[in-house]
Homo-oligomer: A and B are copies of this chain.
Amino acid sequence: IDELKVSTATPVGFPAAACSPAAPAAKYPSVRLTGFFQADSGWFSQSDANRLAVGIGVIEDGDVQDGSDFRRARLAAVGDVWDNVSYMLEMDFAFPGRPSFMDVWLDIDVLDGDSHLRIGQYRQPVGMDGLTSVKDMTFLERGLPFAFLPFRQIGAMWYGVNRTQDITWAISGFRFPTDVYANNVGDNGGYAMAARLTGLMVDAKDGGAILHVGASYSYLDPANDQIQIRNQPEVFVGENGLASLGPAGVPSFVPPFVDTGQVATEHVNLLGAELAGVLGAFHWQTEALFANVDQKGGPSLVFPGAYVQAGYFLTGETRPYNRSAGVLGRIKPNCSVGKEGGIGAWELAVRYSTIDLNDKNIQGNRLNNVTGGVNWYMNPFTKFQFNYIHAMLDSPAYGSSNADIVAMRAQLDF
């Protein structure tokens, strides 16, 4: 039994660590419950030509139905488990995965906390629109080029910001394509990477005048040797589950207006450029994205997309810039509705958005959207959004056609 004592006192392999005064372990783990939901309604006005093109030759299949739904409903646990390790475990209950994995990661401070290593599922670092919180979006949905983004995938990312907080960078390796439960398998490929670099070029008037530039690159080698790029017309109302109670013979969900179908490919290259600015109550941002698909058994394909959008606060707020993430941030009304006696923040917004999924043998349609928006922020955590969308579809097979869409949202987060 003497061996025992020795064994306990001087372990083999490592010298005894000189441990600093005990950290306040009682603090850890910390946990905070957070979440949000978005209740949407949409009304659709389509020409028969539009129904025919969206339904790929069957009018009924393209007859988008009015409706109300929960677009997103999420609960998350966030916190710290140690002085240098934080986490998030977020589930969405409104997406078809029911629930779907959202941000599920742990984050370790490296190099004195100026940079971080993130492991798990997270939004891959491509584009400004994709990295803007879905709670802070100016419109109901991200612009059409969002269709190109890998978005949430399972992997590991090293990212950070410089000391003066005007340059952000991120580089990530991940499995692709990750399913809605954050899983991916496949022996033949299935690996991908993404990187983004942004700079704050102008920062004057205490955030009242900023200019942001950024660029992203991603290389995708899909495990199933396939890629599908598609998107709805910036509105997604529907009954997206097994249990649709909607009418028969028509879609229970907004079908894609642009869709490449499954394209056989060994790898895809994505390139993105972004530019954004704030000038008092005015803010704007624009991005262009290109997907270069190395098609198997066919020619190489290039699909472009772009958008430009702007917003103006009638009530005088200035949209803040999130210096650690390199995106435009969240609005806090100057004077909220309630005991403060205010009217909240009112914003007018406009966007032009385009995506072209026609190239060579692929006829995935081209879509141009013009959207007008009115946003009412009752308080920092409650907002109502109204969008009018004019969608101009160009189908090689079924010709040009239009759809007009009115949609609104009630959003609350906590």
**A interface list, Cβ under 8 A from B:** 1, 4-5, 7-14, 16-20, 22-23, 25, 28-35, 37, 39, 63, 65-70, 73, 75, 77, 79, 81-85, 87, 89, 91, 93-94, 96-99, 101, 104, 106, 108, 119-121, 154-155, 175, 177-188, 190, 204-205, 208-209, 223-225, 237-241, 243-248, 250, 252-253, 279-282, 313-316, 318, 334-343, 346, 378-382, 410, 412-414
A239 touches B181 (CB 8 A): yes
A314 touches B75 (CB 8 A): no
A7 touches B185 (CB 8 A): no
A186 touches B378 (CB 8 A): no
A184 touches B246 (CB 8 A): yes
What CA separation (Å) do A410 and B96 show in the bound complex? Answer: 27
Which of chain B's residues have a CB closer than 8 A to the CB of A1? 204-205, 209
What CA separation (Å) do A346 and B190 show in the bound complex? Answer: 31
What CA separation (Å) do A53 and B224 show in the bound complex? Answer: 24
Q: Which of B121, B379, B414 contacts A70 (CB 8 A)?
A: B121
Q: Which of B9, B11, B87, B91 contacts A412 (CB 8 A)?
A: B87
Which of chain B's residues have a CB closer than 8 A to the CB of A66? 185-187, 190
Task: State how many angstroms separate the Cβ of A328 from the closest Cβ of chain B.
Answer: 16
Assuming the contacts A39-B119, A68-B183, A341-B17, asked whether A336 and B241 have C-beta atoms less than 8 A apart, the reply is no
Q: List 10 interface pairs A-B (beta carbons < 8 Å), by A numbering.
A: A4-B208, A18-B335, A39-B120, A65-B223, A68-B175, A75-B75, A82-B380, A177-B245, A184-B239, A185-B246
B29 touches A413 (CB 8 A): yes
Task: State how many angstroms separate the Cβ of A119 from the closest Cβ of chain B.
Answer: 5
Minimal Cβ-Cβ distance residue in B for A6: B280
What CA separation (Å) do A208 and B1 show in the bound complex? Answer: 10
Q: Which of B28, B224, B315 contacts A247 (CB 8 A)?
A: B224
A4 touches B381 (CB 8 A): no
A37 touches B314 (CB 8 A): no
B240 touches A68 (CB 8 A): no
Which of chain B's residues have a CB closer than 8 A to the CB of A209? 1, 4
Which of chain B's residues have a CB closer than 8 A to the CB of A14? 314-316, 343, 346
Which of chain B's residues have a CB closer than 8 A to the CB of A84? 337-339
What CA separation (Å) do A79 and B63 show in the bound complex? Answer: 40
Which of chain B's residues have a CB closer than 8 A to the CB of A244? 179, 183, 185
Which of chain B's residues have a CB closer than 8 A to the CB of A16? 316, 334
B69 touches A183 (CB 8 A): yes
A-B CB proximity, top 8 nearest: A67-B185, A11-B316, A7-B280, A13-B314, A69-B183, A81-B381, A19-B335, A29-B414
What CA separation (Å) do A381 and B80 show in the bound complex? Answer: 10
Task: State how many angstroms separate the Cβ of A18 from the closest Cβ of chain B.
Answer: 7
What CA separation (Å) do A379 and B346 show in the bound complex? Answer: 47
A8 touches B225 (CB 8 A): no
What CA separation (Å) do A186 and B104 show in the bound complex? Answer: 35
Q: Which of B70, B85, B181, B342 contacts A154 (CB 8 A)?
A: B70
